Amino acid sequence: MIADEILDKEKVMGEDADPARKSIGARRNPESADAILDAAESLLAEAGYSGFSIEAVARRARAGKPTIYRWWPSKAALLLEVYQRQKRVDNPHTGNLEDDLVGFLESLFSHWRETSSGSVFRSLIAEAQSDEAASAALAEYATGRRAHTGQMIERAKARGEVAADVEPALVADLIASYAWTHLLTNRLAEDEATIRRAVRYVMRGIIARNR
């Protein structure tokens, strides 16, 4: 087919991850975009949300402000992509729900502590208070994340580890809330024992009695 060559080139050059882009010729320079995202991420890691401004990002990335605004319509959009680019914490599956939940929270906390991810997420929450798009994106992400954790509980329920009348989504909500609040109040340094005790209260409430 004739279009193949064009498609190939577009694939190589474009990395067009955003299907909402209108103009045909519009495509990012991957190097430039990466430098901008890297700069934004490192600024957030160093100074948190206070140090995050489009101009500071442009300075650090040696990019022009118009370049940033060409690809990201607002500060919130850039923040959002930095956030989405980060690696997800995946749910462990040890065969024991309590260990799964504790392991999940521990790796989430350490991920938030040891990378820029915590700062980015806190900034996104802050931005969501004054930006509608960020608020919607945050809500959507939170819903998806809860569903993911819910599946972890669903599997335990299938194993008979969890009582039949337990709603995994609600339990996942409790667990996720615990994590969020600790992030927002600078209490990520909890050790495993504390986390395990908190999880145990939830566990005792949902565990199958007839074992």
Question: Within its chain, how far is the Cα of 20 from the centroid?
Answer: 21
Residues from 50 through 69 that contact its own copies (CB under 8 A): 50
Q: Would you say 145 and 117 are in contact if contact means Cβ atoms under 8 Å apart?
A: no
Dihedral of CA atoms 61, 67, 73, 79 in degrees, nearest 10, equals -10
Q: Would you say 89 and 108 are in contact if contact means Cβ atoms under 8 Å apart?
A: yes
Q: How far is the CB of 11 from DNA (least distance, A)?
A: 10
Q: How far is the CB of 89 from DNA (least distance, A)?
A: 28
Amino acid at the residue 142 = A
Question: Contact region for its own copies (CB under 8 A) — 30-38, 67-75, 108-116, 172-180?
Answer: 172-180
Binding mask 23-42 for DNA (x = CB under 7 A): xxxxxxx--xx-x-------
C-alpha span between 80 and 136 (Å, rounded): 11
From the list its own copies, DNA, none, which binds 138 (C-beta under 5 to 8 Å, kind-based)? its own copies
Nearest to 123, CA basis, from 82, 85, 81, 79? 79
Closest to its own copies by CB, 56 vs 174, is: 174
Which residues sit at the interface with DNA, rule CB under 7 A? 6, 9, 12-13, 23-29, 32-33, 35, 52-56, 61-67, 69-71, 73-75
